[in-house]
Structure 1
Amino acid sequence: MSFTLAIRAGPARLASRASSQLPKAKGSMSSGPAAAAAIRAFHQSATKNTFFTSRAVTVTLLTGGAIFGGTLVAINVVFNRETREDGGMPVFERAYLNSTFMHTGLGVGIIGLSAYQMIQSGFVYRIMATNPWVFAIGGIAISMGSMFATRAIDPDNYVPKYAMWTVFNATQAAFIAPLMTMAAPALLARAGLYTVAMMGGISFVGATAKQEKYLYIGGPLLAGAAIVAVSGFAPLVLPVTAVRTLAITENLWLYGGLAVFGGFTLYDVQKVLHHARLAERGIIKKDPVNESISLELDFLNIFIRMVQILMMQQNRRK
């Protein structure tokens, strides 16, 4: 089951918020010279930010490496524990789950590195200068197209499958890159650690629960994701004067989204184990790349909300 819908509204909102921070050039932003001047001025000012200093970049990369390494340790220590009532997780299921999480970690790493390169090259500032609707609709089209193409390619056809998977991850990087320019590296590291901790805990529950115990929650979670997605688009269609309504939709997007995608993590882990049993019987082929896509989207949705919540808390202290 694909849960792409709900991840789109948030980055669209981030792009809209980021674009409001662009320096205003004289005249209309639609004119070529004015737009170029605004992008150039914003890029020059952003390079002075501590995010782009060598020390901050080093801290960010080291933290990302630590998170990735911690994830691998968690996979081997937590998911390999024999905690089920029926004698523990079967070897085939364990290996399939480990492979899926390895691909998930690799995908998240590709997204992070791609987002960093987009920032360094100035591509992200051109994204910020575009219309939020153009950014959202275009991003959705490319992301969904690459995701469906990845899922449709046979797992034995490695080269095109991994190529489309990389394109999919690159489109996700374009969505989170604006967020990385608005948050400090320390805050991003905290959000990453909180996300890993939350997903690790929920995944442990899903991996050690009885077989197919939580697969029934897929339908209700999909309905919840649709509601969260609609709340994410609210700032683009509601007037600024609707303060109370916007505050409600903001909380629904943040905290409701955390609950929904936490539930999706639980569902997706059990779905991976269910597919492992089907693959063992020869009903379907093993495809950890396809399995990892849903978990990557869960990670990104939780991470984005963690960053926004931490930024809100930081602003309240000022």
Structure 2
Amino acid sequence: MLASRIFIKLPLVACVSAPTVGRGVATCLRPKVSVVVPALRYASQPSRIAAKRAAKSKTLKEMAATPADGSAISVGRGALAGAAAVGIGALCYYGLGMSKDVGALERAAMWPDYVRERVQSTYAYFGVGIASTAASAIAISRNPAIMARMMPKSWVGALGMMGLVMCSGFICMSVPYTEGVLGGKQLAWLAHSGLLGAVLAPMTLLGGQLLIRAAWYTAGVVGGLSCVAACAPSEKFLYIGGPLAMGLGVVIAASIGGMFFAPTTALGSGLYAISTYGGLILFSGFLLYDTQLIMKRAETYPIMPQRPYDPINAAMGIYMDTVNIFIRIAMILSNSSGGRRK
């Protein structure tokens, strides 16, 4: 019995101690190693692949839901500060006459009367559009019933309002202009600017003091950039239309993407920074471009054309630039510590 127990135990001992006993015992272990180990290896491969796939998918989800750490906002503020420094430097450079080229303001001294009238009428309609937008927003903010309907309940409603404003703008630009009378073009311009004011009416919930500050800051930005465009050479900023168009596509994509991602996540915070800070820089560049485009069109438009010069279409660019600059300044102020105290 004891011998049988020892016999029974010997194969186990031999197999366990095979690496230290010798080659003969290792030979008896080969069938076990060659059968068991590959089976375990092949059986573990699907589980390893599944684990890797699960880890990758989990990582992608975590990337979209990672909490924001404020780095995107810091980068946006730094880019905005750099753009402001460049703008101030350009104003000093061109305003002091350090450029060798003839500036647009110097060319304006040689304009004939009809060119001056075109530029003046363009900025007059620009002022009318801004006043109509502000009046419409204030009037709707004082009517709770209409105010509740103008607040979109979902991203579908927001996109619908954006599409409605775009359609009204296209209609306004397609109506022919008539001089000296209150025609369909002028009414379409008032309707478009009033509709945009109605869409912006929910911004009055940010507070009157904050919006007044945003309006003053917008006036300073628009005035400063207009001076830069006027002092710079007449076609200096007309060459940046292509890069501005590409940047506009990026800002629009970021604005739409921000509807689907919360700003408290890293991805949502990055999209918000692109839409807000990047959009402010972008539309500041558009204001430089559109200001010089107004002067260029006023100079080169024929004197006796089939259709008269259209100052409303010419003012559409700087009008939309100003509105977008105001919106982004108000958003920045509302998210700052001063805006929260208000």
The TM tier, using the shorter chain, reads 0.5 to 0.7
Q: Match for 1:314: what amino acid?
A: S
> SS of the counterpart of 1:246?
helix
Identify the residue that residue 216 of structure 1 maps to in structure 2: 239
The one of 187, 192, 201 aligned to 1:163: 187
Query: Unmatched 5+ residue regions in structure 1?
Result: 1-77
TM-superposed deviation, 1:161: 0.9
The answer to whether the Cα contact below 8 Å between 1:228 and 1:257 also exists between their aligned partners in 2 is: yes
Match of 1:88 among 106, 109, 115: 109
2:4 paired residue number: none
One-letter amino acid of the structure 1 residue matched with residue 193 of structure 2: N
Select the residue among 155, 160, 171 that pairs with 1:133. Answer: 155
Equivalents in 2 of 1:165, 1:265: separation in Å? 20
The 2-side partners of 1:202 and 1:89 are apart by 22
Distance (Å, rounded) in 2 between the aligned partners of 1:224 and 1:313: 25
Q: Among the aligned pairs, what percent are the same residue?
A: 30
Partner amino acid, structure 2, of 1:291:
A
The change in CA–CA distance for 1:257 and 1:168 in structure 2 (over 3 A counts) is same
Partner SS, residue 236 of structure 1? coil
**Equivalence for 1:254:** 276
Question: How many pairs align?
Answer: 235
Per-residue deviation, residues 68-90 of structure 1 (Å, max 9, x unmatched): xxxxxxxxxx9xxx974557352
What value does the CA root-mean-square deviation take over the aligned residues? 2.5
Asked whether the 8 Å contact 1:97–1:273 carries over to 2, the reply is yes
Other-structure match for 1:301: 324
- Cα distance, 1:188 vs. partner? 0.9
CA distance 1:163–1:257, change in 2 (3 Å):
same
Alignment partner for residue 118 of structure 1, among 133, 140, 146? Answer: 140
1:198 to 1:285, Cα distance in 2 relative to 1, 3 A: same
Query: Helix, strand or coil: the match of 1:155?
Result: coil
| Rounded Cα–Cα distance in structure 2 between residues aligned with 1:212 and 1:241 | 39
TM-score, structure 1 normalization: 0.67
Give the superposition deviation at 1:222.
Answer: 1.3
Structure 2 gaps, min length 5: 1-94, 96-102
Deviations 1:80-114 (A, max 9, x none): xx974557352444332222122111101101111
Matches within 5 A, 1:255-294: 255-282=277-304, 285-294=308-317
Q: Which moved more, 1:298-307 or 1:92-101?
A: 92-101
Whether contact under 8 Å (1:187, 1:307) holds in the other structure is: yes
1:197 and 1:316 map into 2 onto residues whose CA distance is: 19
The structure-2 alpha-carbon separation of the partners of 1:86 and 1:241, relative to structure 1 and needing over 3 Å to count, comes to closer
How far, CA to CA, are the matches of 1:146 and 1:191 in structure 2?
Answer: 26
- Residue 107 of structure 1: which of 121, 124, 129 is its match? 129
- Corresponding residue number in structure 2 for 1:244: 266
Aligned partners of 2:122, 2:104: CA distance in 1, in Å? 20
Identify the residue that residue 179 of structure 1 maps to in structure 2. 203
- Provide the TM-score with structure 2 as the length reference: 0.63
